[in-house]
Chains A and B, each alone.
Chain A
Amino acid sequence: MLGDVVTAGRLAALSMAIALGAIGAYLLLFRVAVVRNHPEGYVIAFAVATAVAGLALARSRRWPAWLALGVTTLLLAGGAWFNFVVARVPDTPTMLRVGERPPDLILPDAAGRPVSLADYRGKKPVVVVFYRGYW
């Protein structure tokens, strides 16, 4: 009986460690392309953590298992919602075709001088990066 409780406590701790470790690893390794580009990884980790918490609860219905299950379930629901709903960008058509000229781009630089993509034509290739910025 005591053994069951200890195991359940350890499973609950393991569950929390997996969930919090996934958050820490994602934030810490955000600049690593393979981590950043697989955000579903944290959702999978939360799912595993939730399953482990469920296992803990099956062993012993004491508070550590309930706490672990509560925390991991919230993280799983929140993480899945963020990754699959909030972060989703609809795949609508763009004006870009490989082998064709893109629409021109004339915008002010940091000094307020207008810069045109056409200025680079015949001079050097350009990598144009569109990003959301910080609102």
Chain B
Amino acid sequence: MSEAERAGIEVVAVSPDPSERSQTLADGLHLGYRFLADPDLAATRRWGLVQPRGGPEGQDVPRPATVVVDRDGIVRWFSVSRNFQVRPDPGDVLRAVRAL
């Protein structure tokens, strides 16, 4: 993604992790992402993106997902992983963003 495109959209990353650590890491890499912490998965659950007992200790975990929301706040594209090793193809996400 070019700088201009990156400036035109916001990438918001949600996980149960404390966001300070993720943000420090991302800032070090100049990623420009915004990290939000959802420690009890309440918001993730509202989106229907929790895998019950999916963690190694039987805890609930987020389902890896990417959602493209347009300027009007409408979902234009999304992808939810069916295997936690798999993420959407960056090309597909870019196409969805460019189509906005």
Contacts and interface: CB of A to CB of B under 8 A. Distances in A.
Interface string A76-102: 000000010001111111111111111
Contact of A131 (B15, B34, B93): B15
Interface in B3-53: 8-17, 19-20, 22-24, 33-38, 43-44, 46-49, 51
Given A93-B48, A106-B43, A135-B56, A129 B82 contact: no
**Which interface residue of A34, A94, A115, A125 has the most chain B CB atoms within 10 A?**
A125
A96 B82 contact: no
Given A98-B77, A127-B93, A128-B14, A110 B23 contact: yes
Main secondary structure of the interface of B (DSSP, over half): mixed
Contacts of A3: none
Interface residues of B, number: 65
Contacts of B17: 133-134
Contacts, number: 192
B43 A105 contact: yes
Contact of B83 (A89, A100, A131, A134): A89
Size category of the binding interface on chain A: 35 or more
Contacts of B23: 109-110
A112 B56 CA distance: 28
Nearest to A115: B36
5 contacts: A39-B85, A89-B63, A101-B75, A125-B8, A125-B100
